[in-house]
């Protein structure tokens, strides 16, 4: 039972959690590490439900003043070409204000870009933000500041196309299936900083993208470990839950839709130039699903927004994850519905632990004094995995926890492929 903001925690994983070895040779497992690094969840008792926690994000704007340097990447994917921006946490002298960029952000100079790269072995965190957000988001800065300020971590944020004052150079924005930019960034980091262990962190829609990416990479994933926060795992369920309530439809769907309509307005010239989408129609839309229907479906080839939601969901993807993955969700999250949480999938995969809190809202987790609880397990878990766990000892072929399959007992010989997607790239 919740009492005065004290949320209860629940952990779901396979009966035999992933075996790990400490750098001191001690044996442990992923569930034990998670339970030791996830602290009690004591939140602001005045924000006593998911709606209050979520809505307070519009008022609780205090956050660490994180500074960035931006590098623009040209996509190397032939079909999904264009550019996107990656912001690197900057510990150097404060740069002059650039009004074309978010606060505390400046471009790398050509000389600085040419000098990027090193042989150091500091761990590096790759971060993906939520819908229409960017590196400037308050929840994101709360999470990465303790790691960056420790001096032991490097951090970069992959901004989704068109977000955080970046300009699109094609008609493509981004969606929950768009894993190409994070994949290219990880490959570039692996080449540029060959000795740095890489870790992943995603929030909301970025958590969905990150989970899909990690699953697609499977045992070859370059991340040593990752965390996904407030992942709307089953997008179709979350959409239906939002649409079924007055506050979900008229508040959350409207706020998210307004954010995407503003994003479209920021890229009016590019949308008109590169797509056949009726821009004037976009200006009349109110709700998120309307934007997805009018823009995402034609630009990504989906017949309906529901088809997109089903195809881009990441709950099945959880079965293909083969690196240590901590999943943080609040059960009272009004946007990432608890009815879409992949509990049964997490219960089969020893590489994943689903940690739910009974309170917290959608990337709220506000504590008394304005702190954000999610920053604590992020800091603790990544430091444990980076500095205390022997990465080379992690096996990438531990099987899922499934009942034995016996043909003579009527079991089907067919095989389920969690990454079988509906959207396919057709080459001429």
Tokens 């989408």 belong to which residue? 277
What would the pLDDT profile of 273-316 be if each residue is shown by its tens digit? Answer: 999 999 999 999 999 999 999 999 999 999 999 999 999 999 99
pLDDT computed for residue 427 by the predictor: 44
CA 120 – CA 195 distance, rounded (Å): 6
Q: Are 60 and 138 in contact (CB under 8 A)?
A: yes
Q: Are 11 and 31 in contact (CB under 8 A)?
A: yes
Could you say which of 317, 333, 337, 358 is catalytic? 333
pLDDT computed for residue 425 by the predictor: 65
- Asked whether residue 370 carries a pLDDT value surpassing 70, the answer given is yes
Provide the whole-model pTM.
0.95
Q: Are 337 and 241 in contact (CB under 8 A)?
A: yes
Could you say which of 17, 132, 160, 204 is catalytic? 204
Residue 306 burial (C-beta neighbours within 10 Å; 0-12, 13-18, 19+): middle
Tell me what percent of the residues of the chain surpass a pLDDT of 70: 96
Q: Are 52 and 44 in contact (CB under 8 A)?
A: no
Integer angstrom CA distances of residue 132 from 66, 146, 148, 258, 306: 19, 24, 24, 10, 20
Does residue 333 have an active-site annotation? yes
Residue 412 confidence class, pLDDT cut points 50, 70, 90:
low
417 vs 132: which has the higher pLDDT: 132
What would the pLDDT profile of 162-221 be if each residue is shown by its tens digit? Answer: 999 999 999 989 999 999 999 999 999 999 999 999 999 999 999 999 999 999 999 999
Contacts of 328 (CB under 8 A, 6+ apart): 227, 228, 229, 230, 355, 356, 357, 374, 377
38 φ, ψ (degrees, to nearest 5): -95, 110
Residue 411 confidence class, pLDDT cut points 50, 70, 90:
low
User: Mean pLDDT across the stretch 373-392?
Assistant: 97
Does residue 374 have an active-site annotation? no
374 φ, ψ (degrees, to nearest 5): -60, -20
Contacts of 252 (CB under 8 A, 6+ apart): 54, 242, 334, 335
Could you say which of 129, 239, 362, 374 is catalytic? 362
What would the pLDDT profile of 232-257 be if each residue is shown by its tens digit? Answer: 999 999 999 999 999 999 999 999 99
Does residue 204 have an active-site annotation? yes
What would the pLDDT profile of 344-354 be if each residue is shown by its tens digit? Answer: 999 999 999 99
How many C-beta atoms surround the C-beta of residue 141 within 10 A?
A: 20
- Going along the chain from its start, the domains and CATH numbers come out as 6-234+314-391 (3.40.50.1820), 236-312 (no CATH)
Q: Are 264 and 279 in contact (CB under 8 A)?
A: yes
**The two structure tokens encoding residue 141:** 């800065």
Exposed e or buried b per residue across 277-295, where buried means at least 16 C-beta atoms within 10 angstroms of its C-beta: bebeebeebebbbbbbbbb
**The two structure tokens encoding residue 149:** 């300020």
pLDDT computed for residue 428 by the predictor: 41
Contacts of 61 (CB under 8 A, 6+ apart): 138
């Amino acid at each position: 039972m919740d009492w005065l903001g004290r949320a209860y925690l629940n952990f779901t994983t396979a009966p035999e959690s992933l075996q790990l070895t400490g750098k001191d040779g001690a044996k442990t497992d992923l569930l034990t590490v998670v339970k030791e690094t996830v602290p009690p969840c004591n939140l602001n008792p005045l924000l006593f439900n998911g709606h209050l926690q979520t809505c307070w994000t519009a008022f609780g704007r205090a956050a660490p003043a994180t500074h960035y340097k931006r590098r623009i990447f040209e996509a190397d994917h032939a079909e999904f070409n264009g550019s996107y921006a990656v912001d690197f946490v900057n510990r150097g002298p404060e740069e002059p204000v650039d009004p074309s960029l978010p606060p505390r952000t400046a471009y790398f100079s050509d000389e600085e870009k040419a000098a990027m790269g090193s042989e150091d072995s500091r761990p590096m965190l790759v971060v993906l933000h939520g819908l229409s957000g960017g590196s400037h988001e308050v929840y994101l800065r709360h999470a990465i500041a303790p790691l960056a300020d420790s001096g032991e971590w490097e951090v970069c944020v992959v901004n989704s196309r068109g977000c955080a004052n970046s300009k699109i150079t094609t008609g493509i924005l981004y969606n929950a299936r768009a894993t190409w930019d994070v994949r290219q960034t990880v490959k570039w980091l692996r080449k540029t900083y060959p000795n740095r262990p890489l870790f992943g962190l995603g929030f909301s829609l970025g958590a969905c993208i990150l989970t899909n990416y990690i699953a697609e990479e499977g045992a070859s994933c370059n991340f040593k470990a990752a965390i996904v926060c407030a992942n709307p795992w089953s997008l179709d369920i979350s959409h239906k839950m939002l649409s079924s309530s007055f506050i979900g439809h008229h508040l959350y769907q409207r706020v998210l839709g307004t954010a995407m309509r503003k994003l479209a307005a920021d890229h009016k010239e590019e949308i008109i130039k590169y797509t056949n989408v009726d821009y004037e129609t976009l200006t009349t839309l109110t709700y998120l699903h309307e934007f997805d229907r009018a823009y995402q479906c034609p630009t990504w080839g989906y017949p309906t927004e529901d088809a997109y939601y089903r195809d881009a969901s990441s709950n099945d993807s959880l079965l293909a994850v083969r690196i240590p993955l901590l999943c943080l969700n609040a059960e009272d999250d009004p946007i990432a519905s608890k009815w879409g949480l992949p509990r049964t999938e997490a219960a089969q995969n020893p590489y994943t632990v689903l940690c739910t809190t009974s309170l917290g809202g959608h990337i709220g987790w506000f504590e008394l004094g304005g702190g954000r609880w999610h920053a604590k397990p992020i800091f603790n878990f990544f430091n444990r995995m980076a500095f205390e766990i022997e990465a080379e000892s992690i096996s990438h072929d531990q099987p899922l926890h499934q009942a034995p399959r016996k043909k003579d007992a009527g079991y089907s010989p067919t095989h389920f492929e969690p990454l079988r997607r509906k959207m396919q790239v057709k080459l001429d």
